[in-house]
């Protein structure tokens, strides 16, 4: 059942977020040359690092989702995690985050979310997550935010900014972090 749920999520986004995750992993491992890394990411083929990243993240998501099977409350918490994972875009598109290229999705949407809004939004998510579990809920949200901040920081340092691929990678990593943190809540 958990694998079907992960597959449905992938189909729902036309695997766009997974493609981003794969491209970012390949870009980070392709070269220390910024231009070469961005070229690999734009190429569209999945390399070994990209495939490994997708398998590991989907495996973590599916494994975590097995803890949410059985009752309506658990399903609601899992659904909430899916919705909350999209808040990764608040961080990746924050005002302090530059685009890696002058064109593309990254250039279109970066620097559009005020940094205070991203912080306030994640704080609100942590507050709402208390309903799932008073201790694990806010902690899971904090860990997911930290993972996305780390990814964004690394992309800015390695690529000079973010691309649309980093958006998708952020969403997938946030979802995995949230599901793992909330499993059994």
pLDDT digits (tens, 9 = 90+) for 161-184: 999 999 999 999 999 999 999 997
Asked whether 144 and 170 are in contact (CB, 8 A), the reply is no
Mean pLDDT of 34-50: 91
**How many structural domains does the chain have?**
1
> Rounded to an integer, what distance in angstroms lies between the CA atom of residue 160 and that of residue 163?
10
pTM of the model: 0.95
pLDDT per residue as tens digits for the range 50-69: 999 999 999 999 999 999 98
Q: Is 14 helix (H, G, I), strand (E, B) or coil?
A: coil
Q: What residues contact residue 179 under an 8 Å CB cut-off, 6+ apart?
A: 60, 61, 64, 65, 68, 78, 81
pLDDT exceeding 70 applies to what percent of the chain?
Answer: 99
- The closest of 45, 34, 151 to 100, measured between CA atoms, is 34
> Rounded to an integer, what distance in angstroms lies between the CA atom of residue 93 and that of residue 48?
28
Give the model's confidence band at 94: pLDDT under 50 very low, under 70 low, under 90 confident, else very high: very high
By residue count, the chain amounts to 185
The confidence score (pLDDT) of residue 56 equals 98
Mean pLDDT of 2-11: 91
The confidence score (pLDDT) of residue 1 equals 81
Mean pLDDT of 93-111: 93
> Rounded to an integer, what distance in angstroms lies between the CA atom of residue 4 and that of residue 87?
23
Range of the domain at 130: 2-182
Asked whether 77 and 71 are in contact (CB, 8 A), the reply is no
- The number of beta carbons lying within 10 Å of the beta carbon of residue 125 is 23
DSSP 49-62: HHHHHHHHHHHHHH
């Amino acid at each position: 059942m958990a694998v079907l749920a992960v597959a449905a999520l992938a189909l729902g986004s036309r695997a766009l977020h997974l493609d981003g995750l794969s491209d970012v992993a390949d870009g980070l491992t392709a070269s220390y040359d910024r231009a070469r890394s961005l070229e690999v990411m734009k190429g569209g083929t999945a390399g070994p690092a990209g495939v490994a990243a997708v398998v590991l993240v989907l495996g973590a998501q599916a494994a975590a989702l097995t803890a949410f099977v059985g009752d309506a409350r658990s399903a609601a918490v899992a659904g909430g995690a899916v919705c909350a994972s999209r808040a990764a875009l608040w961080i990746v598109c924050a005002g302090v985050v530059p685009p890696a290229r002058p064109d593309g999705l990254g250039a279109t949407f970066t620097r559009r979310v005020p940094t205070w809004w991203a912080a306030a939004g994640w704080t609100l998510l942590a507050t709402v997550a208390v309903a799932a579990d008073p201790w694990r809920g806010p902690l899971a949200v904090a860990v997911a935010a930290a993972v996305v901040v780390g990814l964004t920081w690394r992309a800015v340092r390695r690529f000079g900014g973010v691309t649309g691929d980093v958006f998708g990678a952020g969403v997938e990593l946030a979802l995995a972090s949230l599901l793992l943190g909330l499993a059994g809540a």
